[in-house]
Amino acid sequence: MTEPITYLTTTIPYVNARPHLGHALEFVEADVLARHYRRRGHQVRFQTGTDDNSLKNVLAAQAEGVATQDLVDRNAAAFEALRGSLALSFDEFVRTSRDPRHRAGVERLWRQCAESGDLYRKHYGGRYCVGCEQFYLDTELVDGRCPEHGTEPQLVAEENWFFRLSRYAGQLHDLITSGRLRIEPATRRNEVLAFIAGGLADFSISRSRARARDWGIPVPDDPDQVIYVWWDALGNYLTALDYATDGEPYRHWWVRSDRRLHLLGKGVTRFHAVYWPAMLLSAGQPLPTDIYVHGYLTVAGERISKSGGTSVDPVALVERYGVDAVRWWLLREVPRAGDADFTVERLAARADTELANGLGNLVNRTVSMVHRYRGGVVSAAANGGVVPAAPTGGVASAGSDGDAGRELDRALERVPALVEDSLADFDFRAATGAVWDVVEAANRFVNDRRPWQLAKAEGAAGEAAAAASAGLDAVLHRLVTTGRAIAAELAPFLPVAASRIEAQLTPAADGTLPPAAPLFPRLADR
Ligand SMILES: [Zn+2]
């Protein structure tokens, strides 16, 4: 097969709690890319899952007084259920505590790095944040506290296994500066290069079984040590492809693929852009080709972890406002670089303006007019699809669609390339903006051509009536084909709405369009 092979992943979240809106952002972005590339004929595998083996999960279970596996299973099920709530199209959902391929794959990765001479034991002391599952240098703390969590890291001193990260600084620098490992946006790439230039220290990749509360994957041939959860978690990108047995999915999606793309949040850039590529170099494996780092969401100005409640629960938001409105906000308002602030008012305003009033109204009035003027039947395009001006518009430029028609042509012509280029840059706002431009151009076209006046004019007698009649056929035909084109372009972003629009604009067995029905509810009053 000659289709490009694209493998894309989200990070696998800790399952110490239920999913929040920040997770939804990453899942929806990855879903858009997966749907887009499938539509363009790529072979696509979209993988997500959960990081079950974290000490955070153990502590959360203790706080609730439940068994760790029970808490992990319960919360992992909530993450997997986002497939339905958010209309996600992932092909694989890996669970690091449950998937038999995972542990065997992590062990293989460990042994390969050991064979390269990159693993060694050392006594170590440092400050560890359980929330981040990482050691911090004193210089990285803010007033002695974790910069992510604001909590005081605990002092840990024990003998651990270490990975010789220091050995890979030069190779990583060359890979990133040459673009063979592409990191977007550029601010993140520069941060990674600055981190590498500052000198890479070897890092601890195991902990004592006691400190791990006996949870996680034991170190091969050293069962008193448990593999560091990040080593374990990063491995999922390979292990769920059946890396342990050199399986065909691994060879297809990792070794032979054209693109290996990781999506992640800015807090875990270092793990994905430094540690993980170094582990792969050590193990003699191909590297990811692309890393896209999204920003953080705040909710009404507060960090999601602090705001809590239903305002950040993606399932509750979908139940109340619908999946289209939630996906549309995430894609239309979150910039490709930097953070974004969410409020339900912004979600409702964006959906009402663009989905209910802009797009919904366009499709609704198209279908209504086809029923009112043509009994629900879309005529073949008269006059080669050229739409004459409405008769009261002064002297019609005969044989012309007018400026509004030409503008609509241009918007339709431009949209595939604009979407392609914007998504290549991970600019979801620009990509949805290109589709939105078509909606606006189509609404201007309706207002410019005024089909209701053509309908009035065709009631009169004579040649003018015949021209108006042909004109009305052409306007309606053009609006229906435009609506279907919008649905096709919208499909990666709003798959559920796109299929509703397609259904509205597809004639039934009797040749007529279904009756006009509102496509998007108005949300402002909810
Ligand atoms: Zn932390």
Residue 395 — very low, low, confident or very high, per pLDDT cuts 50/70/90? very low
Å from CA of 128 to ligand 1 middle: 8
Å from CA of 110 to ligand 1 middle: 26
- CA 26 – CA 8 distance, rounded (Å): 12
Is pLDDT at 388 greater than 60 in this prediction? no
Residue 452 — very low, low, confident or very high, per pLDDT cuts 50/70/90? very high
Å from CA of 18 to ligand 1 middle: 18
Å from CA of 279 to ligand 1 middle: 23
Å from CA of 134 to ligand 1 middle: 8
SS3 526: coil
Task: List, for residues 159-200, the tens digit of each pLDDT value.
Answer: 999 999 999 999 999 999 999 999 999 999 999 999 999 999
Task: List, for residues 103-114, the tens digit of each pLDDT value.
Answer: 999 999 999 999
The percentage of the chain sitting over the pLDDT mark of 70, rounded to a whole number, equals 95
Residue 319 — very low, low, confident or very high, per pLDDT cuts 50/70/90? very high
- CA 368 – CA 55 distance, rounded (Å): 58
Which residue from 252, 325, 228, 340 is spatially nearest to 295, judged by alpha carbons? 340
Q: What is the pLDDT of residue 379?
A: 83
Burial class (CB in 10 A: 0-12, 13-18, 19+), 58: buried
Å from CA of 59 to ligand 1 middle: 14
Is pLDDT at 381 greater than 90 in this prediction? no
Å from CA of 234 to ligand 1 middle: 18
Q: What is the pLDDT of residue 1?
A: 58
Å from CA of 233 to ligand 1 middle: 17
Task: List, for residues 139-158, the tens digit of each pLDDT value.
Answer: 999 999 999 899 999 999 99
Residue 399 — very low, low, confident or very high, per pLDDT cuts 50/70/90? very low
Residue 400 — very low, low, confident or very high, per pLDDT cuts 50/70/90? low
Residue 461 — very low, low, confident or very high, per pLDDT cuts 50/70/90? confident
Å from CA of 54 to ligand 1 middle: 13
Sign of CA dihedral 211, 216, 222, 228: negative
Å from CA of 201 to ligand 1 middle: 19
Which residue from 156, 111, 112, 114 is spatially nearest to 133, judged by alpha carbons? 156
SS3 31: helix
Do 184 and 291 form a contact (C-beta atoms < 8 A)? yes
Do 200 and 170 form a contact (C-beta atoms < 8 A)? no
Å from CA of 10 to ligand 1 middle: 21
Å from CA of 133 to ligand 1 middle: 7
Task: List, for residues 49-78, the tens digit of each pLDDT value.
Answer: 999 999 999 999 999 999 999 999 999 999
Å from CA of 271 to ligand 1 middle: 14
Phi, psi of 7 (to 5 degrees): -115, 120
Å from CA of 140 to ligand 1 middle: 11
| Vertex 400: Cα angle to 397 and 406 (nearest 5) | 125
SS3 305: helix
CB atoms within 10 A of CB 470: 19
Å from CA of 263 to ligand 1 middle: 20
Å from CA of 305 to ligand 1 middle: 12
Burial class (CB in 10 A: 0-12, 13-18, 19+), 165: buried
Is pLDDT at 392 greater than 50 in this prediction? no
